[in-house]
Structures are given as C-alpha cells and as structure tokens.
C-alpha cells in the first residue's frame, strides 16, 4: 500500500469525542469570559426553564444559552429584536459540533433600544383601545376594602398602610407578588385577576379599589409593569385600579391602562381615601353653617312677619264693629221673638176657626158620595170586562170542540195507531204482522196487519187462507 508523504505515519489519532473535548478546552481557555453585543433572535424557553437564543449582527450569528437560575434573575424579559449586551463563558457543544456562549448576565444595549421596544408596544396596545379614557372607571370616594398588589417585604406596603392609617383606616387585603425578575409579570396579572374573581363566598371581601405598587428603579427593574399580560389584566379589571409604580418621573405602560396614576405608592394611598379629620371638620363646619343659616332664616322670617303685621289693623279694631252689631242684635232679639210668637198665634187662631164640626161633616159626606160614584163606575167596568172575557172563552171552546177528532169519530171514522201510540196515516208505513190499535167512537179494538201495502207482494201465511185483510 502506497503511503501519502504529506501526512506522516506518526500523526496522532483522535476519536471524535477526544477532538471535540480538545477543541472545547482550547476555546474555553483562549476566551474564557467575554462581553458580547448583539440582537436577540430565535428566543425560546424550554420546559426545563432554560432559555435558548441566538445573538446576531449584520454578518454573523452565535448560539447562546441561559440556565434556569440565571433566567429567573433577569430584570426584563428578553424578546426577539432586542439588542442586548451579554456577559458569559464561551464554550462548545460537542453534541452538535458548534460553539456557543453560556450567558450569566444580560442587559439592554442602552436605554434607547429598550425605550424603542417600549414605544412600539405602547403603540400596539393603544391601537387596541386599551388606553382609551372611556374605559377608565371612577375611583370610589370612600372604599370599604382596598386590595394591594405588591411585594410583601418591601417598604412600599409599609408606606401604603401607614398612610392609610393616618388618613382614614380601611380594611386592606395584600396579594403578595414578585415585582421584578422572571415570573413577576405573570404573578402581578394573576393577582389582579384573582381580586376580580372574589365574590365574598369564601369569607374574603371583594375590594372596592386596587393599588398596584412598586418602589423606584431602573427601566429594566420596572419592566414587569410593561408586559402585555399585566396591561391586559389591568384593562380587563372590573375593580377600579390605581397604578403607583416607581417615582414620579418613572412611566410604565400600566400607568396608561390604569384608571388613575399615582406618582408614588404613598400618593396612591392618599388618592384612595380622603382624610378622616378633614371629613370630620367638614361635617362640623356644615353643621355650624346649617345652624347659623336656620337661625338667620328664622330671624328674617320674624322680621318679615313683623313688617307685614304693621300694615294690618289691630285685632280689637277688627272685632269692634262685629261686637257692636252683636250687642244691637242681642237687644232686638227678645222683641223679635215676642212678635214672631204673636204672629204664629194669630195664624193658629185663623186655622182653628176653619176647623168647625159642620164643615168637617160636609167634607166627609162629599167624600162618601164621590167614593160611591167611583165604586159604581168600577163595578160596571169590571162586569163589562168579565162579559168580554167570557165571550172570548166561549168562542175558543167552540173552536176547540169543532176541531176535536172525537167529533169525526162520531161520524163513523176511526183512528189507527201503531204499537208506540203513533197515528198511522199511510198504508206504506204498516208492515204485515204489526200490532195496531183502532179507536172507534165508543172504544178501542186491537188488530194485527195481515195484508200488504199497495205495490207490495203478499207473503205466504200459515192458517186460514180465506181470512181477509184489514188494509
């Protein structure tokens, strides 16, 4: 076998694994930790929690990986198209013959890139109408229950509770969440939806207003409050919501979607409830003003009444004329009564003179005569009516007697009836053998039909053939 002179026989022989591991040691020893700038592409989170991505510029690409523990500590959520600066260890992956960077720290490549991403997302959500003023709900003046979504260990919740206690103590329900890092956005959105799902059936009262709060920080620290999942949860909330994220100069997308933006968490507590002492002072002031107004009104009415009374005559003057008339009438009343009594007596005497016995007897006799005449006329009229009625009755009797069928029987006719007592008027209605009843002038005779009606053939009959037929 001929040997190739360009490759001496003493060249060491490697296995694939040996060569891959040798290259891995060279790459890791030569470069170690590097700081790399590039644009994220192909971002993917595995079920294990590890993150796989590709960093690229205008000419080259480099695979990258972020282990689960590092990914959970990131202050923002990586996305495709975001330019970042990564610090990590350059290594190889022998299983696929490629090199990659294991990222241990990632930051946005300048605030400009992150702001550009934020502005793009703001425009997208605004186009969906999530920031419309018509969607915003009024904050209740004095809520009974306040729900707070924030970290339970930070100074924010202490500031809110302290401020509420100073202004107007209310019942507060805290839903603890992460406010930074991996999973913070999902927890914040879940807390908002969780508060909205309460109905009081499990003993937890549904809040009248929500406060979503976090202290100050960099744009990356506040990035969880720019995530779509949080913005959509805020927009869908039926409970009025106050956003209090960062300091007064910090602006996040949750501020656009919330019903009210507070510059700080302490200011959110101030906007959630009024000052109790101010309300007490206001009520007392209203009470004092009301009492003064009532007294002033009564005084004004009294003055008006007094002024009007000056134009009225004195009561004694009003009654003086009536009293004088009463006295005058009282003096004339006894004389008037006496004259009335005398007049009535004279009328009674005149009527008494008309009531003589002879006149009464004349009236009685005249009434008796008139009554006798009236009775005579009534008797004659009654007798005449009776005679007329008797004549009519006799005429009806004669008519009935002339129409009575028994008079026909007296002239030699008879009435034939069937077994049901109905009169038989036609021979066609009688069948042979049917029982009949014949009524004569002096009584009834039973018979049986043995012939047939005209047009019918007689049926043979047992017995004497010489017997005739009735019909």
Name the pLDDT band for 468 (thresholds 50, 70, 90): very low
Looking at per-residue pLDDT, the higher value among 20 and 133 belongs to 133
Region 226-254: mean pLDDT is 90
Cβ partners under 8 Å of residue 146, min gap 6: 164, 170, 171, 172, 173, 207, 208, 209, 210, 211, 272, 273
Q: What integer pLDDT is reported at residue 219 of this predicted model?
A: 76
Tokens, residue 224: 């969880």
Q: What integer pLDDT is reported at residue 110 of this predicted model?
A: 62
- How large is the C-alpha radius of gyration of the chain? 64
CA distance 214 to 180: 9
Name the pLDDT band for 259 (thresholds 50, 70, 90): very high
Is 461's pLDDT higher than 60?
Answer: no
Query: For 352-388, how does the pLDDT look when each residue is reduced to its tens digit (9 = 90+)?
Result: 777 777 777 777 888 888 888 888 888 888 888 888 8
CA distance 311 to 134: 62
> Is the Cβ–Cβ distance between 42 and 50 less than 8 Å?
no
Is 242's pLDDT higher than 90?
Answer: yes
Cβ partners under 8 Å of residue 268, min gap 6: 160, 211, 213, 242, 243, 244, 262
Looking at per-residue pLDDT, the higher value among 261 and 324 belongs to 261
Query: For 389-421, how does the pLDDT look when each residue is reduced to its tens digit (9 = 90+)?
Result: 888 888 888 787 777 777 777 777 888 888 888
Looking at per-residue pLDDT, the higher value among 351 and 262 belongs to 262
What single-letter DSSP state applies at residue 203?
A: S
Residues in a beta bridge with 88:
34, 103
What single-letter DSSP state applies at residue 260?
A: E
Most confident range, picked from 99-113, 273-287, 400-414, 425-439: 273-287
CA distance 97 to 102: 16
> Is the Cβ–Cβ distance between 195 and 149 less than 8 Å?
yes
Looking at per-residue pLDDT, the higher value among 92 and 258 belongs to 258
pTM comes to 0.47
Q: What integer pLDDT is reported at residue 471 of this predicted model?
A: 43
CA distance 86 to 57: 13
Q: What integer pLDDT is reported at residue 455 of this predicted model?
A: 53
Q: What integer pLDDT is reported at residue 349 of this predicted model?
A: 81
Instruction: For the chain, give the percent of residues with pLDDT over 90.
Output: 24
Query: For 143-177, how does the pLDDT look when each residue is reduced to its tens digit (9 = 90+)?
Result: 999 999 999 888 899 999 999 998 999 999 999 99
Residues in a beta bridge with 235:
none
Region 241-247: mean pLDDT is 90
Q: How far, in Å, are 227, 365, 393, 424 from residue 254 at the CA level?
A: 9, 123, 116, 113
Q: How far, in Å, are 16, 33, 92, 100 from residue 27 at the CA level?
A: 17, 11, 7, 10
Tokens, residue 117: 């991403």
> Is the Cβ–Cβ distance between 257 and 216 less than 8 Å?
no
CA distance 194 to 147: 11
Q: What integer pLDDT is reported at residue 42 of this predicted model?
A: 86
Name the pLDDT band for 453 (thresholds 50, 70, 90): low
Name the pLDDT band for 112 (thresholds 50, 70, 90): low
Q: What integer pLDDT is reported at residue 430 of this predicted model?
A: 80
Picking from 25-29, 62-66, 249-253, 351-355, which range would have the lowest pLDDT averaged per residue? Answer: 351-355
């Amino acid at each position: 076998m001929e040997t190739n002179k360009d490759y001496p026989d003493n060249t060491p022989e490697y296995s694939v694994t040996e060569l891959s591991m040798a290259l891995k040691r060279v790459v890791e020893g030569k470069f170690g930790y590097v700081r790399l700038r590039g644009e994220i592409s192909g971002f993917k989170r595995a079920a294990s929690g590890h993150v796989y991505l590709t960093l690229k510029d205008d000419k080259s690409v480099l695979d990258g990986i972020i282990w689960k523990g590092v990914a959970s500590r990131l202050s923002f959520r990586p996305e495709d198209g975001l330019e970042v600066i990564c610090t990590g260890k350059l290594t190889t992956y022998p299983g696929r013959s490629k090199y990659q960077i294991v990222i241990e720290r990632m930051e946005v490549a300048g605030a400009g890139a992150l702001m550009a991403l934020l502005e793009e997302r703001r425009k997208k959500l605004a186009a969906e109408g999530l920031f419309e003023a018509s969607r915003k709900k009024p904050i209740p003046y004095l809520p009974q229950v306040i729900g707070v979504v924030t970290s339970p260990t930070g100074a924010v919740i202490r500031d809110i509770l302290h401020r509420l206690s100073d202004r107007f103590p209310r019942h507060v329900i805290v839903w603890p969440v992460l406010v930074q890092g991996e999973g913070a956005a999902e927890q914040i959105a879940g807390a908002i939806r969780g508060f909205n799902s309460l109905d009081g059936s499990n003993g937890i009262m549904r809040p009248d207003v929500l406060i979503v709060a976090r202290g100050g920080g960099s744009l990356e620290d506040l990035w969880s409050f720019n995530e779509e999942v949080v913005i959509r949860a805020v927009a869908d909330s039926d409970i009025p919501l106050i956003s209090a994220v960062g300091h007064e100069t910090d602006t996040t997308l949750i501020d656009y979607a919330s019903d009210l933006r507070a510059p700080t968490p302490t200011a959110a507590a101030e906007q959630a409830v009024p000052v109790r002492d101010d309300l007490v002072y206001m009520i007392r002031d209203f009470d004092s003003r009301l009492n003064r107004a009532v007294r002033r009104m009564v005084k004004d009415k009294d003055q008006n009444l007094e002024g009007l009374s000056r134009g009225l005559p004195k009561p004694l003057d009003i009654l003086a004329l009536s009293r004088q008339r009463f006295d005058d009438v009282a003096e004339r009343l006894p004389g008037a009564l006496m004259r009335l009594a005398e007049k009535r007596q004279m009328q009674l005497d005149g009527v008494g003179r008309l009531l003589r016995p002879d006149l009464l007897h004349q009236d009685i006799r005249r009434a008796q005569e008139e009554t006798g005449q009236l009775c005579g006329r009534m008797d004659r009229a009654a007798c005449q009516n009776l005679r007329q009625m008797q004549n009519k009755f006799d005429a009806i009797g004669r008519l009935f007697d002339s129409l009575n069928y028994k008079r026909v029987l007296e002239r030699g006719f008879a009435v034939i009836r069937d077994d049901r007592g109905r009169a038989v008027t036609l021979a066609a209605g009688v069948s042979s053998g049917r029982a009949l009843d014949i009524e004569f002038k002096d009584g009834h005779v039973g018979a049986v039909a043995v012939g047939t009606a005209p047009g019918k053939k007689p049926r043979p009959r047992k017995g004497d053939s010489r017997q005739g037929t009735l019909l």
